[in-house]
Structure 1
Amino acid sequence: MTDETPSQGAAEIVEAQWRTVLSYGPEVIEQEMVRAAYAEPRLRQLFPGVSHGILLLSRCVGHPHSRDVPVVYPLGEGGYEVTNRAGADEVHGRFATAEEAFAEVAAHLPEGCGPAVLGSVDDL
């Protein structure tokens, strides 16, 4: 959830949300994943959220969020799998490190993907 106010721009909202997600402990999300995503400049411009230990990235800061950015799932046996947001019906690959996995996400961003925008998916 964001503390969105009319005077805030999308970049400020995204930055504040990243600070929140970066502050989460390991009981919420694996910090290696968060740091790896944040290290990718194109991903750092997107709005982050966490659900069930998974980092979700959106091209907009409002609800409903976009669902077109690939997702990284940690694998129980180690490593990471990158799929489309809808689930495992399109697997981009399995990777040994979070850095490799989020590089794959950055390589498969939707066409024309730029910084997150104010509003919802309907405003893209």
Structure 2
Amino acid sequence: MAEKDILGTAPDDPVAAKWQVVRDMDAHLIDTALVNAAYANPALRALFPLVSHGSLQFSRCTRFPWSQDLPSIFPYDGEGLFRVRRLHVPHGSGREQIGGPATADAAVELVASHLPPGCGPALGGTPDALESLN
């Protein structure tokens, strides 16, 4: 078993390390309430988090290119409301609106309820690692 660092996470755990980076981000980069709500959800905490333009996205793998098949949470109005969208549907692309506007907690629950069966924890590597599971 790997030794734990000062934060209580295994230094070779890329998911835990990335969550720590996201949790330490300034509020002007990502809504703190959203990050806290997502981190509190065990299903989402097991996924690799990504932040882009104020959105919180999730991957089932820990290396680029990300899995891109999971819903993402986007800021809606700057007042703590969010939209949940799927940016890339499996085997294609699109912008499927799943729900919104929603609070941080409601957006997190919406993402968790739209995860594919057996999703998580995130696998080390690229999406190729996911394809070997099918």
Query: Could you tell me the TM-score, scaled by structure 1's length?
Result: 0.84
How high is the sequence identity, in percent, across the aligned residues?
43
Match of 2:7 in 1: none
Give deviations 1:9-63, integer Å, cap 9, x for gaps.
Answer: xxx1100110110000112111111111111100000011111111111000011
> Quick check: 2:87–2:95 contact (8 Å CA) kept in 1?
no
Name stretches of at least 5 consecutive residues in structure 2 with no aligned partner: 1-10
1:3-14 equivalent positions in 2, closer than 5 A = 8=12, 12-14=13-15
Residue of structure 2 equivalent to 1:30:
31
Work out the CA distance in 1 between the residues paired with 2:94 and 2:24. 28
Using a 3 Å threshold, how does the CA distance of structure 1 residues 100 and 122 change in structure 2: closer, same or farther?
A: same
Structure whose alpha-carbon radius of gyration is higher: 2
Deviations 1:80-108 (A, max 9, x none): 11111238732111143101111010000
**CA RMSD across the alignment:** 1.8
Match of 2:106 among 78, 94, 100: 100
Q: More relative contact order in 1 or in 2 (CA 8 Å, sep 6+)?
A: 1
> What residue in structure 2 maps to residue 119 of structure 1?
125
How far is 1:74 from its partner?
A: 1.4
Amino acid at match of 1:13: P
Q: Which residue of 1 aligns with 2:19?
A: 18
Q: TM-score, normalised by structure 2?
A: 0.78
Looking at structure 2, the residues matched to 63 and 17 of structure 1 have their Cα atoms a distance apart, in angstroms, of: 13
Counterpart for residue 8 of structure 2: none
C-alpha distance in structure 1 between counterparts of 2:45 and 2:122, whole Å: 10
Counterparts of 1:62 and 1:89, CA distance in 2: 23
